[in-house]
Amino acid sequence: DADVTQTPRNRITKTGKRIMLECSQTKGHDRMYWYRQDPGLGLQLIYYSFDVKDINKGEISDGYSVSRQAQAKFSLSLESAIPNQTALYFCATSSPELHNEQFFGPGTRLTVL
């Protein structure tokens, strides 16, 4: 959905570099999520946030951190990238008024060399 945007869309970096992935939404949703997708593994939850000052770890938070700067923005950081963090990363938003249906951004393809 164009209402959820991610930048960059593609990124190639080197081992040890710090990387930040940005997510912005205009849907007015309080809940935001970061997932990574690897072939054959579906989507795994990294972090999620229900409000500006709320941060929660997901299934695979090690090696990642997040910041919820505003209701509309949720950024994901890799403090020191490693090759097994090469994956497709999705941001998503949801609202309890919509049965928690999740709206995904277009994804960021990250390659760590």
Provide the mask over 5-44, with x wherever binding to other proteins is found by CB under 8 A and - wherever it is not: --------------------------x-x-x----xxxxx
* Residue 13 falls in which region: left (phi positive, over 0), alpha (psi -120 to 50) or beta: beta
* Dihedral (CA of 102, 1, 72, 22) sign: positive
3 binds other proteins (CB under 8 A): no
Which of residues 21, 76, 105, 112 is near other proteins by CB under 8 A?
Answer: 105
Q: Does 56 bind other proteins (CB under 8 A)?
A: yes
Decide if residue 62 touches other proteins (CB under 8 A): no
Helices then strands, each counted (H, E), the chain: 0, 11
